[in-house]
């Protein structure tokens, strides 16, 4: 299976701890996206990368959140000093990187974070 | 403000009955519109998308959607549902650039 993979699938942490999630996109995909999904809601856009460049960040991405894609392949999303409100499913998606009207995002299974 | 509104949070329906899941988008959302399905503990899977051209879009698993510009709607339909269609369905639209705006989701529950 060469789809988008995310690790870990589940993470339980205590408030104030730092957590890091990893996303491995489909290998030939240039664009990579992070979304957050809380219970009963649709995914909310956080940020996206074109290769290694982070091109857009949502206001939802506070200064406790940082995302990287150092070599234009896998990406990490780190949350520092976690709060209970950070509990959510964090979804990663990737796309080929063509014109907007050719874009299809392929989603990973997500990382479910629970902050106690 | 950019928004995508799914008018029903839950839709129960009997197996083999037709179903319509309703979606409205704000005029500030670009007319790249999508429907995704999410099965339990899985990521989102694209059902269909509208970019331009014919207003009736056919997708996977027998689903189709109709783009209506005057009503700013993009409702999803299936003529006959199966138990396996039970899932969460998300309508989404382009939010400018490559950002996607999602609705809150509609839980389709197919009963035997």
Q: Is any Cβ of chain A less than 8 angstroms from the Cβ of B46? A: yes
For tokens 């874009």, the residue is: A103
Q: Is any Cβ of chain A less than 8 angstroms from the Cβ of B53? A: no
Beta bridge partners of B74: B67
Q: For strand A19-24 and strand A10-13, is the pairing parallel, antiparallel, or unpaired?
A: unpaired
Instruction: Read off the pLDDT of each residue in B12-27 and give the average, rounded to a whole number.
Output: 95
Contact A36, A115 (CB under 8 A): no
**Per-residue pLDDT tens listing for chain A (116 residues):** 579 999 999 999 999 999 999 999 999 899 999 999 998 889 999 999 999 999 988 888 889 999 999 988 999 999 999 999 999 999 999 998 777 666 788 999 999 999 99
pLDDT at B88: 96
Q: Which among A100, A107, A109 has CB closest to B98?
A: A100
Q: Is 60 exceeded by the pLDDT of residue B107?
A: yes
- Which residues of chain A are at the B interface, by a Cβ-Cβ cutoff of 8 Å? 4, 31, 33, 35, 40-45, 48, 55-56, 58, 91, 93, 95, 100-101, 103-110
Contact B4, B103 (CB under 8 A): yes
Please give, rounded to a whole number of angstroms, the shortest distance from the CA of A77 to a CA of chain B: 17
- Residue A36, class by beta-carbon neighbours within 10 Å (0-12 exposed, 13-18 middle, 19+ buried)? buried
pLDDT at A59: 85
Structure tokens at A70: 């150092």
Give DSSP secondary structure letters for B42-94. Answer: S-EEEEEEE-SS-SEEE-GGG-EEEEETTTTEEEEEESS--GGG-EEEEEEEE
Beta bridge partners of A61: none
Interface test with A, best of B35, B57, B87, B100 (most A CBs within 10 A): B100
Q: Cβ A107–B99 below 8 Å, yes or no?
A: no
pLDDT, tens only, B26-82: 877 767 899 999 998 788 999 999 988 888 999 999 999 999 989 999 999 999 999
- State the Cα angle at A81 between A77 and A85, rounded to 5°: 80
pLDDT at A89: 95
Structure tokens at A94: 């990737």
Q: Which among A42, A58, A101 has CB closest to B90?
A: A42
pLDDT at A31: 93
Please give, rounded to a whole number of angstroms, the shortest distance from the CA of B80 to a CA of chain A: 25
pLDDT at B87: 96
């Amino acid at each position: 299976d060469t789809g988008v993979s995310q690790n870990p699938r589940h993470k339980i942490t205590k408030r104030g701890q730092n957590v890091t999630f990893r996303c491995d996109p489909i290998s030939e995909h240039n664009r990579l996206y992070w979304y957050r999904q809380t219970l009963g809601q649709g995914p909310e856009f956080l940020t996206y990368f074109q290769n290694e460049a982070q091109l857009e960040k949502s206001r939802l991405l506070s200064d406790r959140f940082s995302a990287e894609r150092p070599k234009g392949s896998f990406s990490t999303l780190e949350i520092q000093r976690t709060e209970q409100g950070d509990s959510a499913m964090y979804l990663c998606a990737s796309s080929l990187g063509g014109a907007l009207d050719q874009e299809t995002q392929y989603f990973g299974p997500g990382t479910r974070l629970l902050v106690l | 403000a950019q928004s995508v509104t799914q008018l029903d949070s839950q839709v129960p329906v009997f197996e083999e009955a037709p179903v319509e899941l309703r979606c409205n988008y704000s005029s500030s959302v670009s007319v790249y519109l999508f429907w995704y399905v999410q099965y339990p503990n899985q990521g989102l899977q694209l059902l269909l998308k509208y970019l331009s051209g014919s207003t009736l879009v056919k997708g996977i698993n027998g689903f189709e959607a109709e783009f209506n510009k005057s009503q700013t709607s993009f409702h999803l339909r299936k003529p006959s549902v199966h138990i396996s269609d039970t899932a969460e369905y998300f309508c989404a639209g382009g939010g400018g650039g490559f950002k996607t705006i999602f609705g809150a989701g509609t839980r389709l529950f197919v009963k035997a």
